[in-house]
Structure 1
Amino acid sequence: MTRQLLVPMDDSVPARAAFEHALTVYPDDEITVVHVVDDLETGYAGGSASADADEAEPEFFTEVRELATTHDRSVETVVIEGTSAEAILEFADEEGADQIVMGSAGRSGVSRMLLGSIAEGVARRSTIPVTIVPRGR
Structure 2
Amino acid sequence: MDVKKVLIAVDNSTCSEKAARVGYETALQFGAEVALVNIVEPVPANVNPDLTLAPVFLETYDNSKENSDMLLKEIELKFAQGTKTTYLSTVDTAAHGIIKQAEEWAADLIVIGTYGRTGLYHFLMGSVAEHVARKSACPVLIIPNKWEED
CA distance in 2, matches of 1:99, 1:14: 18
Amino acid at match of 1:86: H
CA distance in 1, matches of 2:61, 2:124: 22
Which residue in 2 is equivalent to 1:15? 16
- Of residues 101, 111, 115 in structure 2, which corresponds to 1:101? 111
**Alpha-carbon RMSD:** 2.8
Q: Cα distance 1:81–1:125, how it changes in 2: closer, same or farther (>3 A)?
A: same
Output the TM-score relative to the length of structure 1.
Answer: 0.79
Pairs aligned (count):
130
1:134 aligns with 2:144: yes
Which residue in 2 is equivalent to 1:33? 36
The list of structure 1 runs, each at least 4 consecutive aligned residues, that deviate by more than 3 angstroms after superposition, is: 50-53, 110-115
Which residue in 1 is equivalent to 2:77? 66
* Gap runs ≥5 in structure 2: 45-55
Provide, for residues 35-63 of structure 1, a one-character-per-residue CA deviation record: whole Å limited to 9, x for no partner: 10112xx34xxx84x64432314332232
CA distance in 2, matches of 1:107, 1:78: 26
The alpha carbon displacement at 1:80 in A equals 0.7
Which residue in 2 is equivalent to 1:3? 4
CA distance in 2, matches of 1:135, 1:95: 26
Alignment check: 8 A CA contact 1:23 1:68 kept: yes
* Gap runs ≥5 in structure 1: none
Identical aligned pairs, as a percentage? 26
The alpha carbon displacement at 1:14 in A equals 0.8
- Of residues 85, 94, 114 in structure 2, which corresponds to 1:84? 94
